[in-house]
Amino acid sequence: MNYFERMKDRFDSLKVKENVIILSIESSCDETSIALVKNGREVLSNVIASQIEIHRRFGGVVPEVASRNHITAISNVYKEALKEAKIDKKDIDAVAVTYGAGLMGALLVGVNFAKALAYSLDIPLIAVSHVYGHISANYISHPDLKPPFVCLMVSGGHTALLRVEDYNKLKLLGTTIDDAVGEAFDKVARVLGLNYPGGPEIDRLAKEGENRYHFTVSNALSHTLNFSFSGIKTEVVNLVHNLTQRGEEINKADIACSFQESVTDELSIKSIKACKGQNLNKLVVAGGVGANSRLKEKLSCLCKENNIEFYSPVLKYCTDNGAMIGSCAYYMMKDGLGLADLDLTAKPNVDL
């Protein structure tokens, strides 16, 4: 019997096993992370080797540099994750890995490491979507949280409103028609001369500024749950260029604050609209931009006014990490989904 044939039964038997420990790998962008997660909710370890400092001098992630650094980091991250969890590798029940979406070369490092590990330990390999993983960050942070709920997915690559019907069943309610919101944060930060990644820098600087500019997000989509952020991004870029040309002072804090106010208004108002339209009184935020303090403040306030329960991941699980992949893989396994063969490859884009 070949590896995959052997794994089918073993994967099935995990559904009824009392304690399932999954080793999960995330390498889709600039974080090499490996976690050990028990029963989808308990994080035994979550080791992250961040490359942020390396990419900062380039003003953004350089894919080739990211791949090389994943290769250098991954073995040590693996050893550290086992050590922290006080787990022997023979106690791992399955290996999970992000296969997409993300940078191809970066993903391949994680995928190949996962394949070699699963094969050598003779345990199942589970292929996980990064986007689903971000939602699962909430299951780790909130032990009682269960679907159904509305999810506002806001990362560097995605912006969407989803109806999460069950752990593995999503319905897309709205999405961005151009830039992802994290991308807009990063581009605005760049034109303001702030460090990479721009989101946390804008978050910090906005606290010192005023909403003087009242930037607007396109009205054309107001009757839908779709988003567009390229217009506001261009408005900010043009303003900064015009001020520079005229030799006028650029008040970075005011620009950061005005941009953030407008974007977070749009995200929070549509999130509440989605909950009402779906008749659901639970809202969950997921993805890197979910770390934004002003977004969380507005969502939490609007939810209270509208009798909606609001959930956001603990800060360290907002941005990329292995633990969210392990949680997601557990619920996939419970539904018999995601078992992969050794020909698993990476995908730069994955459908929501």
Interacting residues with ligand KG4 (CB under 6 A): 29, 130, 134, 155-157, 182, 185-186, 197-200, 203, 287-289, 291-292, 319-320
Residue 247 backbone class (left: φ over 0; alpha: ψ -120 to 50; beta: rest): left
* Contacting residue, 320, 329, 338, 344, with Zn ion by CB under 5 A: 320
Question: Is residue 31 involved in binding Zn ion (CB under 5 A)?
Answer: no
Tokens of 166: 């069950």
Residue 246, classified by CB atoms within 10 Å of its CB into exposed (0-12), middle (13-18) or buried (19+), is exposed
Q: At what angle do helices 181-191 and 230-245 cross, to 10 degrees?
A: 0
Among candidate residues 46, 18, 79, the one with its CA nearest the CA of residue 325: 46
Residue 190, classified by CB atoms within 10 Å of its CB into exposed (0-12), middle (13-18) or buried (19+), is middle
Considering beta carbons, is residue 26 or 261 the nearer one to Zn ion?
26
Binding-site partner at residue 24 among Zn ion, ligand KG4, none, CB < 5 to 8 Å by type? none
- Range 53-82, binding Zn ion (CB under 5 A): none
Question: Is residue 136 involved in binding Zn ion (CB under 5 A)?
Answer: no
Binding-site partner at residue 198 among Zn ion, ligand KG4, none, CB < 5 to 8 Å by type? ligand KG4
Considering beta carbons, is residue 29 or 236 the nearer one to ligand KG4?
29
Taking a C-beta distance cutoff of 8 angstroms, is the pair 94, 14 a contact?
A: yes
Smallest distance, Å, CB 155 to ligand KG4? 3
Binding-site partner at residue 203 among ligand KG4, Zn ion, none, CB < 5 to 8 Å by type? ligand KG4
Smallest distance, Å, CB 183 to ligand KG4? 6
Binding-site partner at residue 93 among Zn ion, ligand KG4, none, CB < 5 to 8 Å by type? none
In a 3-state reduction of DSSP, which class is residue 96? Answer: strand
Binding site residues, Zn ion, CB under 5 A: 155, 320
